[in-house]
Amino acid sequence: MQGSEGEVFRDQALRSEISLKGPCEDTIGYQIPISLTRAELARLRLRALRRGLWFRKLDVNERMLMELVIRVVDRVRSFLLAKMLFSIVKKLLDAMESEIVRLMREVGRPLAQKLSEIARGWGNRSAVHWAGDLGFIQYLAVMQKNLSPMFKV
């Protein structure tokens, strides 16, 4: 009984910490949009090779691990292996992420949340939706990117 509870706990921890099941709905929040299957990892490897990131971003051991998993495993079940692959997949996806999406996540969303809170404090009821509006978040991110260095805080 003790072992099965431990397995359930580790499985739940894997899902909550790594969130590797299926594509994420929100492109700004950070979840890994792939599952750890042979097909998905091979597709990621191919994308990284085409963009020239496979050899630039991964060291020899990381590449060997990915290659071995793609050749041997149909679906990753091991928590330890999933954790190791998560860091490699995250590194590749970070390198493939566009600058605007990164700015939307790092700058646009916090700025939209802050502006939404200020506007709600002033009595604007529609400001509740600003923090989740991707168009508004993208607008703020692009404006911040194009802001003159003289005006940046």
CA distance 122 to 99: 33
Query: pLDDT tens digits, residue range 16-67?
Result: 344 444 443 334 444 566 788 999 999 999 999 999 999 999 999 999 999 9
Q: For residue 122, report the phi and psi dihedrals to the nearest 5 degrees.
A: -85, -5
Q: Where are the domains of the chain?
A: 2-97, 100-145
Kindly report the pTM of this predicted structure.
0.59
Q: What is the mean pLDDT of the chain?
A: 81
Other residues' Cβ atoms within 10 Å of the Cβ of residue 149 = 5
- C-alpha 10, offset from chain centre: 21
- pLDDT in the model for residue 1: 42
Contacts of 70 (CB under 8 A, 6+ apart): 38, 41, 42, 45
Residue at 81: amino acid letter: L
Q: Which of 8-22, 109-123, 135-149 has the lowest mean pLDDT?
A: 8-22
